Amino acid sequence: MKLFFRKYGEAGPPLIIVHGLYGSGDNWVNIARELAHRFEVYVVDQRNHGQSPHSEVHDYGVMREDLREFMDDQGIDRAVLIGHSMGGKTIMSFAAEWPERVASLISVDIAPKTYSNLALASRKAPNHSGMIDALLALDVQNAESREELDLALRPRIGSSRIRSFLLKNVRRDSSGKFSWRINLEALNNNLDKIFEGIDASNIPVGGITGFPVLFISGAESDYIQPQDHLLIRSLFPVAEIVTLPGAGHWVHAEQPALLVKTIKYFLEN
């Protein structure tokens, strides 16, 4: 699949940013611009998100293939990979299959584990199934404004920040009607696959090595727990793990300056 992308910077080694569930490359433009002074930064839209094509198939096997195809098309042999949430699992899956094509790996607020019961286990964690149900119930085509859609979502999604983030996936078509840019049906049908952990069956004894690895978690997020560190290091033995204060799951929106500082320090040392 040919992924939509944006590019920032004209010099330096390639760096690819892969967004998370319900997101798009748009969410990472400011981060990309901050890194573009030293890297050739590519920000991709994953399948069924943003301006990339839609498909009924949505799992980490095809998403890592999408990333490989993108790198091949751009003539990128090896790159720094940064992935948030679902995007973090995409780059982990890619690294497990093609470690020789990874210069460094940075996973933002996601571990290699299965997350199917996270919303039940933690009040801080998003209820993704509930979110998609709420979005599917919206009558977007007959809405007259984003404010109307936001008001309709409010009873089911209390956070104004999360509602604003989700409604970035609404666009006006040529007739002036609202429509979804995101493929909600495919994501709803594949949530169980999105929540799956990384398949460790092909990972060699001793884990994946050969490049630096950083896992970044938000202090206000429950996505990476202390007990997950053992799993992380069993797959990526050289992994560093840091926690950013004042950030929940959407670290890039809540602590962008600190995230950029952390990424730069890791990549420059």
Looking at residue 117, its pLDDT comes to: 59
52, 25 Cβ separation under 8 angstroms = no
Token output for 183? 């493929």
Looking at residue 175, its pLDDT comes to: 83
Q: Is 85 a catalytic residue?
A: yes
Instruction: List the catalytic residue out of 19, 52, 58, 85.
Output: 85
Is pLDDT at 237 greater than 70 in this prediction?
yes
Token output for 88? 């973090």
Q: How far is CA 69 from CA 34, 74, 203, 243, in A?
A: 26, 9, 22, 32
Q: Is 185 a catalytic residue?
A: yes
Instruction: List the catalytic residue out of 19, 58, 84, 249.
Output: 249
Count Cβ atoms within 10 A of the Cβ of residue 1 and give its class: 0-12 exposed, 13-18 middle, 19 or more buried: middle
| Residues 148-177, mean pLDDT to the nearest whole number | 89
Give the Cα separation of 72 and 54 in Å (integer).
Answer: 21
Token output for 215? 């896992």
197, 117 Cβ separation under 8 angstroms = no
Give the Cα separation of 87 and 90 in Å (integer).
Answer: 5
Q: Which of 199, 7, 9 is nearest to 17 (CA)?
A: 7
Is pLDDT at 119 greater than 50 in this prediction?
no
| Residues 140-169, mean pLDDT to the nearest whole number | 91
Looking at residue 173, its pLDDT comes to: 83
Q: List CB contacts of 175: < 8 A, sequence separation 6 or more.
A: none
State what percent of residues in the chain have pLDDT above 90.
80
Of 9-23, 118-132, 169-183, give the lowest mean pLDDT range: 118-132
pTM listed for this prediction: 0.94
Three-state DSSP at 158 gives coil
Token output for 122? 């933690």
Residue, of 93 and 122, whose pLDDT is higher: 93
Q: Which helix (H) or strand (E) holds 105?
A: strand 102-108
Q: List CB contacts of 82: < 8 A, sequence separation 6 or more.
A: 15, 16, 17, 18, 91, 106, 108, 263
Query: 33-71 pLDDT, tens per residue?
Result: 999 999 999 999 999 999 999 999 999 999 999 999 999
Is pLDDT at 1 greater than 80 in this prediction?
yes
42, 16 Cβ separation under 8 angstroms = yes
Is pLDDT at 125 greater than 70 in this prediction?
no
Query: In whole numbers, what is the pLDDT of the chain averaged over residues?
Result: 92
Give the Cα separation of 229 and 252 in Å (integer).
Answer: 22
Instruction: List the catalytic residue out of 65, 97, 185, 196.
Output: 185
Looking at residue 121, its pLDDT comes to: 42
Q: What is the DSSP string of 54-76?
A: P-S--SHHHHHHHHHHHHHHTT-
Query: 76-94 pLDDT, tens per residue?
Result: 999 999 999 999 999 999 9
Enumerate domains of the chain plus CATH numbers.
Answer: 5-117+196-268 (3.40.50.1820), 119-191 (no CATH)
With bands split at pLDDT 50, 70 and 90, how would you rate the model's confidence at 11? Answer: confident
